[in-house]
Chains A and B, each alone.
Chain A
Amino acid sequence: MTNAIVWLHGDSLSSVDPALVARPEAPAIFVFDEPFLREARLSFKRLFFLYESALEALEGRNGFIYRGEVVATIRTFCVTHAADEIHVTTSVAPRFKQYVQQLRSQFKVVVYQPQPLVPWRGAAPRRFSAFWRRVETEALRPTGSGPQAYAEQSP
């Protein structure tokens, strides 16, 4: 039997985050990235927005918010909860990729893909206009998964 935790981060901070939804019983964590924030000097408004969003995403479940170094904090969190699996929704940010790589030396990391606006393979075109020409028809077509999610979640 494996124990899992869910890791929420600033690129996926939703109460219907795919990793959260996939593991509803797992303890979940959001970490304010201390070394990054110390350098970035963001306004308080941004941090409060993240905090409020994390609080709501973690509402009603075994959820925790920390301030610290992300990888070390998640490692300790896994040990505390006797977990050997980390479930997380992907991000294209280089920092996210580094963290996942570091965590993989010790844990199994299961990465979820959010539904894209349009499927895309290969390199990005040089200009948006070329991208739009190729995806326009598909971008305007519903895929059917969104409205149902809203029906369940609407306030």
Chain B
Amino acid sequence: MMRLQTEHPTRAERAAYLAEALAGLYDGPAEPAATPGGRRAALHRLSSFDPRDYARTRNDVVRRGVSLLSPYLRHGILGLAEVRDYLVTRFAPGPGLAKFVNELAWRAFWQLVYAEKGEAVHEDLEPAKVPLRRERGVPADVEQAATGLVCLDTALRELYTNGYMHNHARMWVAAYLQHWRGIDWRDGAALFYRHLLDGDPASNSLSWQWIASTFSHKPYFFNRENVERFSGGAYCATCHLAREGCPFDASYEELAARLFAE
């Protein structure tokens, strides 16, 4: 065992020190994310979050009407109940506030399931509802955020550099890896867990199972129309594959036939 120093005055000095002190215990560059740790930063984010438009804007991957509180909630720096109490006593009841509390409840639900199932959350909890390919290992182009699909590469780059991915983009990336690329959801979940500041064994693995259909009644997948809608068309406008070769450019019926054929 080794005692770590706690005296470094600046963030850069702390990062340089920690890189040495924890050598051998992490992969990748020794660079901190922009998101600061600690409760002061958490409270600052909470006090600047306005949930009134949340229901309408939360799924927009570009505009992002989200709270960015998840790293703090995951590590118990903020509690679910106190965040709810703080918001409910400051904002009048409305669809935005209700939807945000509903999202807090998702975390409470995942924790309940984790308490009950333990490490089993990292394996299929139910049989898949569609044929799933189970290839192992994350492909190099995904590891490098170089799939050529702007909607996914943008999200992956942010994951690798900043430890964050918008929730709706997580759904796209997860569905792409499992359903389009046939990668076992457990390897996709491991990739997210390594990078997300809010990476939580329960929320992460169970959400991947929700995408895969091993903890839901059907698989989640999406099409180009969904990407355009929830990005205001921003990604497709700069994507080389948008005119020809977009794997998402089809109706849900066509995609289901293509992805889940026996």
Contacts and interface: CB of A to CB of B under 8 A. Distances in A.
Interface stretch (B112-120, B178-186, B237-245, B246-254): B112-120
Contact of A43 (B1, B79, B105, B195): B195
A102 interface: no
A67 B4 CA distance: 7
A34 B4 CA distance: 13
Contacts of B6: 55, 58, 63-65
Contacts of A50: 37, 75
A111 interface: no
B104 interface: yes
B93 interface: yes
A52 B113 contact: no
A108 B77 CA distance: 25
A66 B5 CA distance: 9
Given A49-B32, A66-B2, A116-B81, A42 B75 contact: no
A145 B32 contact: no
B40 A48 contact: no
A44 B29 contact: yes
Interface in A18-40: 31-32, 34, 37-38, 40
B44 A45 contact: no
Nearest to A34: B25
Contacts of B105: 117-118, 128, 131-132, 135-136, 139
A12 B76 contact: yes
A145 B85 contact: yes
Interface in B33-59: 33, 35-40, 43-44, 46-47
B24 A38 contact: yes
Interface string A104-144: 00000000001111101001100110011001100111111
B18 interface: yes
Contacts of A56: 37-40
Nearest to B11: A52
B139 to A, nearest CB: 18
A14 B32 contact: no
A45 B195 contact: yes
26 contacts: A13-B77, A34-B25, A42-B199, A46-B197, A49-B163, A49-B197, A51-B18, A51-B37, A53-B75, A56-B39, A65-B6, A72-B1, A89-B76, A93-B201, A116-B80, A117-B81, A139-B102, A140-B97, A142-B88, A143-B85, A146-B81, A146-B82, A147-B85, A153-B43, A154-B43, A155-B44
The 9 tightest CB contacts between A and B, nearest first, are A146-B85, A68-B1, A52-B37, A146-B82, A56-B38, A53-B37, A12-B76, A92-B115, A124-B112
Given A14-B76, A117-B108, A131-B108, 14 more contacts: A11-B75, A12-B76, A34-B25, A40-B193, A45-B33, A47-B18, A48-B37, A50-B37, A51-B18, A55-B38, A67-B4, A114-B76, A127-B216, A146-B85
Interface of A: 10-17, 31-32, 34, 37-38, 40-58, 63-69, 72-73, 76, 89, 92-94, 114-118, 120, 123-124, 127-128, 131-132, 135-136, 139-147, 149-150, 153-155
Interface of B: 1-4, 6, 11, 14-15, 18-19, 21-22, 24-33, 35-40, 43-44, 46-47, 71, 75-86, 88-89, 93, 97-98, 101-102, 104-109, 111-116, 118-119, 160, 162-163, 193-197, 199, 201-202, 216-217
